[in-house]
Amino acid sequence: MSDDFYSEQEQWERVKKWLRENGPWLVAGIVLGLAALAGWRWWEQRVERRAQEAGVAYERLLETLNKGDRDGGTKQADALRAEYSSSAYADQADFAIARALIESGELMQGAQRLTRVMDGSKDQELRLIARHRLARVQISLGKPDEALKTLSAAQPGTFAARYAEVRGDALFAKGDKAGALAEFRKARDTQAVAGTATVDAAGLELKIADLEADGIGAASPQKAKP
């Protein structure tokens, strides 16, 4: 036989020896890898399924509220949060119930729902929206100072125009018309720079025009030269 044959035979013997020594570990690694992959797929499917379930529960909640059944909707919202607390639908459910409560004049109960989203949501934008809405409720409750404190406790980011308008509303409620006008103008200018309509431009202009008509923010007349 040729030397090449013996060389290949030796190599094959070495391969078989390596497989005998390391084969069990190799098989175990493959099994663990397959198990991890299966576990990951199971987890993804579970997350997707629960998200779909939360969405269905939220749709049922909206249907209940549309029928005028606020008490039933409140129970559904609480059940949704209890079962799917990590879902964004839990926050949306609190928003929906808060709106229903506020529209029916139950401002304190609505504020509690908004506070829960503001303090507990994992979504930064939802927290900012809840803070903005809570400030409006606080103004309606006759607590403009609390509204200003609520707004100042976070950076508004893309909601800067909205926050400025509500600050203006709070200052106006306090009787600070000059401060209110400054904030309304800030809201208008911020929105113009952003190029995105986040506040009611027409309503904002009316607020500005009304204050300017009262002489607020007008330039002081210059003294006539002798």
Q: pLDDT band for position 186 (50/70/90)?
A: very high
| pTM of the complete model beyond 0.85 | no
Report the alpha-carbon distance of residue 223 to residue 204 in Å, rounded.
Answer: 33
pLDDT for 155: 94
pLDDT digits (tens, 9 = 90+) for 42-83: 556 656 777 788 888 999 999 999 998 999 999 999 999 998
pLDDT for 192: 87
Q: Which of 18-22, 93-97, 213-217 has the lowest mean pLDDT?
A: 18-22
Please give the average per-residue pLDDT across 191-220, as a whole number. 82
In this model, does residue 99 exceed pLDDT 70?
yes
